Amino acid sequence: MLRHIDEHPQDDLSVDRLSSIANFTKFHFHRQFAALFGIGVYRYVQLVRLKRASYQLAFRAEPVIQIALDAGYEGPEAFCRTFKQRFGQTPSAFRQQPHWTSWHDVNEPSRKIRRSIMTQGMPERDVRIVEAQEVRVAALEHRGDPNTIGDSIRRFIAWRRTAGLLPRSSATFNILYDDPDSIPPAEFRLDLCAATERAVPPNDDGIVAKVIPGGRCAVLRHTGTEEGSPKRRSTSMPNGCRTAGRNCATTRSIASAFPSFPTFRSTRRSPTCSCH
pLDDT of residue 34: 85
Under the banding of pLDDT at 50, 70 and 90, the label for residue 118 is low
pLDDT tens per residue across span 184-212: 999 999 999 999 999 998 888 899 999 99
**Residue 120 banded pLDDT, cuts 50, 70, 90:** low
Q: Give the side-chain half-sphere CA count within 13 A for 131.
A: 0
DSSP code string of 245-258: TEEPPPP--HHHH-
pLDDT for res 252: 32
Count of beta carbons in the 10 Å neighbourhood of residue 121: 6
Structural element, H or E, at residue 53: helix 41-59
Arithmetic mean of pLDDT, 40-44: 86
Summarize the confidence of residues 118-130 as an average pLDDT.
Answer: 68
- In one-letter notation, the amino acid at residue 171 is A
Which residue type is seen at 92?
S
Structural domains of the chain sorted by starting position, each given as residue range(s) with its CATH number in brackets: 2-117 (1.10.10.60), 124-265 (3.20.80.10)
CA torsion, points 72, 74, 78, 83, in degrees to nearest 10? Answer: 30
pLDDT value for 222 = 54
> Quick check: 234 and 198 in contact, CB under 8 A?
no
Residue 248: what pLDDT? 31
Are the CB atoms for 49 and 35 separated by under 8 Å?
Answer: no
DSSP assignment letter at 54: H
Model confidence pLDDT, tens digit, residues 4-22? 887 777 777 787 788 887 8
Residue 136 has phi, psi (to 5 degrees) of -90, 135
Q: What's the pLDDT tens digit per position in 217-248?
A: 888 765 544 333 333 334 443 333 322 222 23
Helix (H, G, I), strand (E, B) or coil at 132: strand
Q: What is the pTM of this model?
A: 0.69
Q: What is the largest CA-CA distance in the chain?
A: 62
How far is 145 from 157, CA to CA, in rounded Å?
19
Report which of 13, 16, 11, 38 is spatially closest to residue 29, judged by C-alpha positions: 16
pLDDT value of position 244: 26
